[in-house]
Amino acid sequence: MEVIKDYNYSKFAKYYDVLENEEINKDFNNLLDRILKKHDVKTILDITCGTGFQASFLVKQGYEVTASDLNKEMLEEAKKKYPEIKIGWHQGDMREVNYGEFDAVISINNAVAHLNKEEFEKAVKNIKKNLKQGGIWIFDIFNREFFKEKFVKHKFIDVAKEVDKGKFVRFNHNTYDYDKGIMNVNQEINIQVSMDQPIEIIKESWDMQMYSKEQLKEIFERNRFEVEISNTKGEELDENNSPSILIIAKKK
């Protein structure tokens, strides 16, 4: 079994929302809402909810949402951000939890990439148990084929922003094994909350398991799902030019 190193969300939970691109996430949330309406979804399990960005949005759109995440600190951030929103928050592992049967399960922002291939198979089987017949699992994941030619080998900055007088800069210097479909991510985040405070530096290294369209299709068809595949804008997937894949897997 290929062992991959995981990401320590506990170290980054309080900065997660600052570092991620909220505008892109807003666009994706609107696509997510359209997909859910198309499939007549009423009940949703956000099985990797993080700090609650998707879950809170979906409650506001009128869905009944249950939210779960493996990391306690991320859940605490979610509860602090959205105290007025009615969500059942739970701590649990997507490979094991069972909260009932839902019209849809979602796991967004490349969350499933933290699982190696064997653990991903466990998650597929377990998420199927959390879906009603005909229910859908929606998730996104980095596209293995895109990074074959477009992987950035040098050190680069992917975030540089100022929020409430604090400055945040994130550096990446990564490696990629195409044959295994594993990207090793090495990040350094420089944080200065104010000019009278010293810079805080947080370093983290972890692996992400990626798949091609054909690999994902084989896994889901073998586990008796119907599969729709697109890019994360809901458009036709161009494997050479789409960094991420969006999967809608329907339980047969």
Q: What is the largest CA-CA distance in the chain?
A: 59
93 and 215 assigned to the same domain:
yes
Residue 2 inside a domain? The answer is no
Give pLDDT, residue 93: 96
13 and 72 assigned to the same domain:
yes
pLDDT in tens, 189-248: 999 999 899 999 999 999 999 999 999 999 999 999 999 999 999 999 999 999 999 999
CA dihedral over 158, 10, 65, 246, signed as positive or negative: positive
Q: What is the mean pLDDT of residues 8-18?
A: 86
153 and 132 assigned to the same domain:
no
136 and 198 assigned to the same domain:
no
Give pLDDT, residue 11: 84
Give pLDDT, residue 15: 87
pLDDT band for 3, please (50, 70, 90 cuts). Answer: low
Q: What is the CATH number of the domain that holds 50?
A: 3.40.50.150
Give pLDDT, residue 18: 86
CA distances, 163 to each of 15, 17, 159 (Å): 11, 11, 12
33 and 134 assigned to the same domain:
yes
Q: What is the CATH number of the domain that holds 201?
A: 2.20.25.110
Q: Are strands 182-192 and 175-177 parallel, antiparallel or unpaired?
A: antiparallel
End-to-end Cα spacing for the chain:
29
13 and 116 assigned to the same domain:
yes
38 and 111 assigned to the same domain:
yes
Three-state helix/strand/coil letters over the chain: CCCCCCCCHHHHHHHHHHHCCHHHHHHHHHHHHHHHHHCCCCEEEECCCCCCHHHHHHHHCCCEEEEEECCHHHHHHHHHHCCCCCCEEEECCCCCCCCCCEEEEEECCCHHHHCCHHHHHHHHHHHHHCEEEEEEEEEEEEEHHHHHHHCCCCCEEEEEEEECCEEEEEEECCEEECCCCEEEEEEEEEEECCCCCCCEEEEEEEEEECECHHHHHHHHHHCCEEEEEECCCCCCCCCCCCCEEEEEEEEC
107 and 157 assigned to the same domain:
no
111 and 184 assigned to the same domain:
no
Residue 40 inside a domain? The answer is yes
Residue 219 inside a domain? The answer is yes
pTM for the full predicted model: 0.94
**CB 50: neighbour CB atoms within 10 A?**
25
**Interhelix angle 22-38/53-60, nearest 10 degrees:** 50
166 and 117 assigned to the same domain:
no
Residue 4 inside a domain? The answer is no
90 and 127 assigned to the same domain:
yes
106 and 28 assigned to the same domain:
yes
Residue 138 reports pLDDT greater than 90: yes
Q: What is the mean pLDDT of residues 73-88?
A: 92
Give pLDDT, residue 191: 95
Domain that includes residue 183, residue range: 146-208
- The number of folded domains in the chain is 2
d(CA 54, CA 63): 11
pLDDT in tens, 42-73: 999 999 999 999 999 999 999 999 999 999 99
